[in-house]
A and B are shown apart, each in its own frame.
With several copies, the nearest count.
Chain A
């Protein structure tokens, strides 16, 4: 049993932290978000240079053979810096599908491009009627000669406006909510029949409504066996939940730090806010929530390789925790910043917005509580 980090992990953490400090301050981040593209491609190129895009892939795949803990370290620092770049969609999700389910030719073709920064991916799975159920899919993929033709609508596809390829869930069989009959496809974002309505999101990212109208893809665009993608989707999404949990660690801790800083300097009734016992206890409770986020993140990350039920329960618990802690910490951080907390000029509000958006990603607190219940109460 060991919760410490290796020397390599500490170096990795420091290099990410330094990059963010040097290149990702409040004003630079705002400028990126407000730019037409919504991000600065130079950032991504530097991620590639730092090797961040190579971390989870094996050495044979052209990666660094990192563990989930390495990914955790990166995402935690991203959380502190409010990084908007598409690491989760490209490396954790897209990379995850390829790593864990892609054919060797898919891996050989695409992973090097992820690693060198030339390929951005987005995961198009959510549908309007589905809420958070990954298996609720109306989008269809019909056999057409050796390939498939895709039709359907995907909503709120994070990073889609930036993506070169989409990874799309579609039905090759089964009914709307069946877990069988689901397949995964790599679709070129510029393919004929793909249209997008792009927009910014509340947390400063970009997303799109994606429409697929008679989009033809070849057979080798399918990831994994036909109709059997659901277990892979669950696995990769559990990796994404851990990544979000890691990001939340950074986010939550930073919100607490900013609040401590602010209350130490801001005076009311001739005393710093930090001297009022009620606010001290509020911050103590925020601290407890932060530590619980850390604990559940460690748990879920360590258990990514555990037997399925254990892995799923741990990931669900971490997501519940990040949701409820994010709400508690975020709401109180804003409250303790007083009027300043609700302005665009202070960074605290931007952390709060990200915390809010994260709660919905891949299912909110209720969704994962129910998942956890099914796994632990039968």
Chain B
């Protein structure tokens, strides 16, 4: 048992670090995970694309890096170290792997390069108003008509659909079988007539998610992934893929450092807040949670490096990862005291400079926004169901 990196790993780390230092534009550094524009996100995407590093998770033959799990872990550490922007997951981490695993030759040749280059921005058509955690309960219907499916229904919580060129959708193609067995996986051009997008404004005043309405949308049959009515298989594959990196350890470490910095600056009782016993304790408890999470993540990673597939025990990473993230935003709100209260975002415009310290801007909206993390991707309650059934056999 050891934590040692091989000399090759260390050389890889040095290479990555040098590249990031040299190529990540200063204004995109420092962990600006929200409030990035489409342009910002694409700028970074294209820098990585040119380097050939935009798809660390993909096999080499499809344009990925072919990195092993340890290298991907180092990559995550180094990007978090500098606070580079996130990559939008829907193409790279979600539909991409589905396409290269289950797609036809034509689908691979057409879509994968466009995902890699950033030409197509994807979004995800999974959730529906009536089907949240019970994903298979979806009701969007696709009816075959010659070479097309005619799709009708509504998707919701569609993140960044306002920027998207393509959407991958689960649709119902057979109502008379078990609900998991009548689902088909379609790739749909967002410019197809009949698609409309309506913003959902979230608690933090932000516009990140949307309703997507589909009305008599004609989708060519060649846009179907795999077989008709087998969509649930591909959907589950995608969800399993989505799970990796879900612990968010590197980012939470960065946020923890920020929090400590704030606590060193804020005053409480005439002394820095970080000398306040109660606040110290809360930070320490959270840091220990994060260490435990990190090593649970590393154990999963080490198992993956030995070729073991991720099991349902990764639900721990989702549960504890999101709990840590939420708690970090909560403590940051506490740390800034009254200055969590000014609200400069949303419809009232935010062209003015900050009220109070820079680091207090947006901490409350971030706290509100992060509530979503224990809801999306299968609520934490669902994750506990998974653990109790699949791991503990209850």
Do the two shown chains form a genuine complex with each other? yes
Residues from chain A with a CB closer than 8 A to the CB of B355 are: 156, 197, 199, 209
A301 and B1 contact, Cβ closer than 8 Å, known pairs A202-B365, A369-B281: yes
| B162 beta carbon closer than 8 Å to chain A | no
CB distance from A162 to the nearest CB of B (A): 16
Interface residues of B in 199-252 (CB under 8 A from A): 200-203, 205
A317 CB contact (under 8 Å) in B276, B291, B313, B389: B291
Residues from chain B with a CB closer than 8 A to the CB of A201 are: 341-343
| A299 beta carbon closer than 8 Å to chain B | yes
| A11 beta carbon closer than 8 Å to chain B | no
Residues from chain B with a CB closer than 8 A to the CB of A274 are: 394
| B150 beta carbon closer than 8 Å to chain A | no
| A284 beta carbon closer than 8 Å to chain B | yes
Write the B370-394 contact mask toward A (1 if CB under 8 angstroms, else 0): 0110111001110011011101111
User: CA separation between A109 and B372, bound complex, in Å?
Assistant: 51
Residues from chain B with a CB closer than 8 A to the CB of A131 are: 266-269, 273, 337-338
Residues from chain B with a CB closer than 8 A to the CB of A303 are: 3
| A119 beta carbon closer than 8 Å to chain B | no
Q: Are B341 and A284 in contact (CB under 8 A)?
A: no
| A149 beta carbon closer than 8 Å to chain B | no
- Interface size for A (C-beta < 8 A) is 88
Residues from chain A with a CB closer than 8 A to the CB of B294 are: 295, 299
Residues from chain B with a CB closer than 8 A to the CB of A339 are: 127, 132, 156-157, 372, 375-376
Closest partner residue, chain B, to A285 (CB atom): B384
Closest partner residue, chain B, to A200 (CB atom): B343
Interface residues of A in 329-378 (CB under 8 A from B): 331, 334-335, 338-339, 341-345, 349, 352-353, 356-357, 360, 364, 366, 369-370, 372-373, 376-378
Closest partner residue, chain A, to B363 (CB atom): A202
Write the B288-312 contact mask toward A (1 if CB under 8 angstroms, else 0): 1101111110110111011000000
User: CA separation between A370 and B278, bound complex, in Å?
Assistant: 9
Q: A128, A201, A277, A295: which has the most chain B beta carbons within 10 Å?
A: A295
Closest partner residue, chain A, to B356 (CB atom): A155
CB distance from B327 to the nearest CB of A (A): 11
Q: Are B203 and A2 in contact (CB under 8 A)?
A: no
| B175 beta carbon closer than 8 Å to chain A | no
A292 and B296 contact, Cβ closer than 8 Å, known pairs A132-B337, A155-B339: yes
A177 and B287 contact, Cβ closer than 8 Å, known pairs A4-B306, A295-B292: no
A280 CB contact (under 8 Å) in B134, B157, B369, B394: B394
Residues from chain A with a CB closer than 8 A to the CB of B347 are: 34
| B260 beta carbon closer than 8 Å to chain A | yes
CB distance from A245 to the nearest CB of B (A): 12
Q: Are B284 and A284 in contact (CB under 8 A)?
A: no
Residues from chain B with a CB closer than 8 A to the CB of A209 are: 355-356
Q: Are B295 and A335 in contact (CB under 8 A)?
A: no
User: CA separation between A269 and B352, bound complex, in Å?
Assistant: 47
Residues from chain B with a CB closer than 8 A to the CB of A356 are: 333, 340, 364, 367-368
| B180 beta carbon closer than 8 Å to chain A | no
Residues from chain A with a CB closer than 8 A to the CB of B48 are: none
A2 CB contact (under 8 Å) in B156, B283, B302, B365: B302
User: CA separation between A132 and B338, bound complex, in Å?
Assistant: 8
Residues from chain A with a CB closer than 8 A to the CB of B203 are: 342-344, 349, 352-353
User: CA separation between A5 and B274, bound complex, in Å?
Assistant: 40
Q: Are A156 and B2 in contact (CB under 8 A)?
A: no
| A275 beta carbon closer than 8 Å to chain B | yes
User: CA separation between A320 and B140, bound complex, in Å?
Assistant: 47
B284 CB contact (under 8 Å) in A133, A291, A373: A373
Q: Are A360 and B340 in contact (CB under 8 A)?
A: yes
Q: Are A296 and B133 in contact (CB under 8 A)?
A: no
| B348 beta carbon closer than 8 Å to chain A | yes
User: CA separation between A226 and B279, bound complex, in Å?
Assistant: 36
Residues from chain B with a CB closer than 8 A to the CB of A256 are: 392
Q: A131, A287, A294, A356: which has the most chain B beta carbons within 10 Å?
A: A131
CB distance from B214 to the nearest CB of A (A): 19
Q: Are B388 and A284 in contact (CB under 8 A)?
A: yes
Residues from chain A with a CB closer than 8 A to the CB of B283 are: 373, 377
Residues from chain A with a CB closer than 8 A to the CB of B389 are: 280
Residues from chain A with a CB closer than 8 A to the CB of B284 are: 320, 369, 372-373, 376-377
B132 CB contact (under 8 Å) in A283, A338, A373: A338
Q: Could you list 20 further interchain pairs (A-B, Cβ under 8 angstroms) beyond the known A292-B320, A331-B371, A373-B283?
A: A156-B342, A199-B355, A207-B341, A279-B381, A280-B385, A288-B319, A291-B313, A291-B316, A296-B288, A298-B1, A339-B157, A341-B371, A342-B368, A342-B371, A344-B205, A345-B200, A356-B368, A360-B337, A364-B334, A378-B274
A and B contact pairs by CB, cutoff 8 A, 27 listed:
A1-B2, A1-B5, A4-B306, A155-B338, A155-B356, A156-B342, A156-B355, A201-B341, A202-B341, A202-B368, A274-B394, A292-B292, A296-B288, A298-B1, A299-B292, A299-B294, A343-B200, A344-B201, A349-B368, A352-B368, A356-B364, A360-B333, A360-B340, A364-B337, A366-B278, A373-B283, A376-B287
The 6 closest A-B pairs by CB, nearest first: A295-B295, A280-B388, A292-B292, A284-B387, A156-B338, A284-B384
